[in-house]
């Protein structure tokens, strides 16, 4: 058990916070990510994998199988969120957790706020000191994959098919898959190890679109503007105010989608707003886009302004691909059953790098790491949950043996 813990603590000692403002300028957006990627590449090589690390800044490892079976892939990301401080992490290992509040130097994590803590009474919990996030998202995923591979190759006569491993940068900035070397990939299914709560398997995610509304007004001296001035900003704020408030991120959860105005800027002459739209159903997503378009048209007409609406799909719900290739999910559930591990399947209210692969025909369900309170200074993980994720990865590999 110590080696999984050691690996995890080693990876979180790398400063790999990504930088959303550097997307398109640098890749990876921060240097520390490159250091960890190279380190993981070295570890894969030491385990006997063929490693490719090219211009794409994605580490790709190939393990030659010892028996026939379907080639499968695993993927995790090395960066951490920039929503809170992510560098200089000082981890604290709490052994034999007593079921009470965990007082860190900078904050206290309570079972009231984090009820899942109580599932791990007597176990080992790892946190930061409270001044930064922990980085379990997704260095736990990296540690789980490497630990599983190391157990696989160090056991004599263990049987496994060809396995591919991918470590990506910049998942948190949404640009991680921009240069993914998909043409080098042989696996027809990829398991991302980037989930949270123990037992949780995510097979669906939102469909996502970005809708940009532009309004052209008629500027005029405001002192003499009566009947003449058409203020683009006023028109735009009217359009935004007509988005259904009950269908906002603040008001929705579960399987409900939303409209999320993410930026608005401009002047009396012209204004531009971006509205992010999310829905689990693609048809409903298109209806939401139409609703914005119709509303912008109507309001612009009412105020004698001009409007245009442009929309682009950011990612698609990976469930559509998973439904066509159900074996990807079946393999997880069968492995869980044989391990006596309770698993449940649910949706991510967001996207993952796996959604990018799914859109390209490679189903990519997301597997738990055991981490909680991601992107916050209260982030924590139970070592035992990580251990069970390693078991599940090994179980999935066993399921792929002899499959054609
Ligand atoms: Zn993640």
pTM of the model: 0.88
137 CA distance to ligand 1 centroid (A)? 5
Check residue 321 and give its pLDDT: 85
77 CA distance to ligand 1 centroid (A)? 7
List the chain residues with pLDDT less than 70.
Answer: 1-2, 403-404
192 CA distance to ligand 1 centroid (A)? 9
28 CA distance to ligand 1 centroid (A)? 16
Which single residue is written with the structure tokens 């940009």? Answer: 212
In a 3-state reduction of DSSP, which class is residue 26? coil
Check residue 1 and give its pLDDT: 47
Compute the residue count for the chain: 404
* CA gap 332, 189 in Å, rounded: 12
The number of C-alpha atoms within 13 Å of 60 and in the hemisphere containing its C-beta is 20
- Give, as one character, the DSSP assignment of residue 231: -
* CA gap 157, 277 in Å, rounded: 51
* CA gap 78, 379 in Å, rounded: 16
Q: What is the pLDDT of residues 86-130, one digit of tens each?
A: 999 999 999 999 999 999 999 999 999 999 999 999 999 999 999
Phi, psi of 109 (to 5 degrees): -100, 125
Same domain, 151 and 31: yes
Active site residue 171: yes
Cβ atoms of 39 and 33 within 8 Å: the answer is no
Question: Among 287, 315, 343, where does a domain finish?
Answer: 315
Among 56, 79, 247, 379, which one carries the catalytic annotation? 79
CA 25 to chain centre: 21
299 CA distance to ligand 1 centroid (A)? 40
Same domain, 231 and 264: yes
Check residue 320 and give its pLDDT: 82
CA distances, 156 to each of 143, 159, 323 (Å): 22, 9, 37
Same domain, 242 and 180: no
20 CA distance to ligand 1 centroid (A)? 15
* CA gap 358, 66 in Å, rounded: 28
| CATH number (domain holding residue 241) | 3.30.70.360
Region for 172 from its dihedrals, namely left if φ exceeds 0, alpha if ψ lies in -120 to 50, beta otherwise: alpha
How do strand 72-77 and strand 190-195 relate by DSSP bridges?
Answer: parallel
* CA gap 281, 128 in Å, rounded: 38
Check residue 88 and give its pLDDT: 97
Cβ atoms of 161 and 72 within 8 Å: the answer is yes
Same domain, 167 and 27: yes
* CA gap 242, 234 in Å, rounded: 13
Cβ atoms of 82 and 174 within 8 Å: the answer is no
Same domain, 292 and 235: yes
324 CA distance to ligand 1 centroid (A)? 25
303 CA distance to ligand 1 centroid (A)? 44
Among 43, 82, 171, 279, which one carries the catalytic annotation? 171
Same domain, 193 and 331: yes
196 CA distance to ligand 1 centroid (A)? 9
Same domain, 382 and 237: no
How do strand 207-216 and strand 270-279 relate by DSSP bridges?
Answer: antiparallel
Q: What is the pLDDT of residues 51-67, one digit of tens each?
A: 999 999 999 999 999 99
Same domain, 251 and 360: no
State the total domains in the chain. 2
Q: Domain range spanning residue 247? A: 212-315
205 CA distance to ligand 1 centroid (A)? 14
Check residue 404 and give its pLDDT: 63
Sheet holding 163-168, edge to edge: 50-53, 59-63, 163-168, 72-77, 190-195, 366-368, 200-205, 344-348
289 burial type by CB count under 10 A (0-12 exposed, 13-18 middle, 19+ buried): buried
* CA gap 238, 224 in Å, rounded: 22
Same domain, 113 and 248: no
| CATH number (domain holding residue 386) | 3.40.630.10
- For the chain, helix (H) and strand (E) counts, in that order, are 9, 18
Same domain, 321 and 308: no
């Amino acid at each position: 058990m110590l080696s999984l813990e050691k690996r995890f603590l080693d990876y979180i000692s790398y400063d790999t916070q990504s930088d959303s403002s550097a997307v398109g300028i640098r890749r990876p957006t921060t240097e520390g990510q490159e250091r960890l990627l190279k380190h993981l590449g070295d570890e894969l090589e030491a385990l006997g994998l063929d490693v490719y690390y090219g211009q794409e800044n994605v580490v790709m490892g190939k393990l030659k199988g010892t028996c026939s079976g379907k080639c499968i892939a695993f993927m995790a990301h090395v960066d951490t969120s920039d929503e809170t401080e992510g560098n200089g992490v000082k981890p604290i290992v709490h052994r034999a957790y007593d079921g009470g509040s965990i007082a860190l130097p900078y904050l206290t994590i309570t079972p009231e706020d984090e009820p899942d803590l109580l599932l791990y009474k007597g176990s080992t919990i790892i946190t930061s000191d409270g001044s930064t996030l922990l980085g379990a998202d997704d260095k736990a995923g990296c540690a789980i994959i490497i630990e599983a591979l190391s157990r696989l190759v160090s056991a004599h006569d263990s049987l496994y098919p060809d396995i591919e491993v991918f470590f990506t940068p910049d998942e948190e900035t949404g640009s991680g898959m921009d240069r993914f070397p998909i043409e080098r990939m042989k696996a027809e299914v990829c398991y991302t190890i980037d989930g949270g709560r123990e037992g949780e398997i995510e097979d669906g995610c939102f469909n996502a679109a970005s809708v940009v509304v532009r309004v052209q007004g008629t500027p005029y001296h405001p002192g003499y503007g009566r009947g003449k001035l058409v203020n683009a900003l006023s028109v735009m704020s009217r359009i935004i105010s007509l988005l259904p408030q009950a269908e906002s991120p603040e008001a929705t959860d579960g399987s409900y989608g939303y409209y999320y105005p993410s930026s608005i800027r401009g002047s009396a002459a012209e204004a531009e707003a971006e509205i992010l739209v999310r829905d689990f159903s693609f048809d409903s997503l298109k209806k939401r886009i139409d609703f914005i378009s119709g509303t912008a048209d109507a309001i612009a007409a009412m105020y004698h302004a001009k409007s245009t609406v442009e929309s682009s799909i950011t990612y698609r719900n990976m469930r559509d691909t998973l439904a066509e290739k159900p074996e990807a999910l079946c393999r997880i559930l069968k492995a869980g059953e044989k391990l006596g591990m309770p698993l449940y399947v649910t949706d991510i209210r967001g996207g993952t790098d796996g959604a990018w692969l799914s859109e390209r025909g490679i189903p990519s369900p997301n597997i738990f790491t055991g981490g909680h309170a991601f992107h916050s200074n209260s982030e924590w993980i139970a070592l035992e949950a990580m251990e069970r994720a390693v078991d599940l990865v090994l179980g999935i590999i066993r399921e792929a043996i002899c499959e054609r």
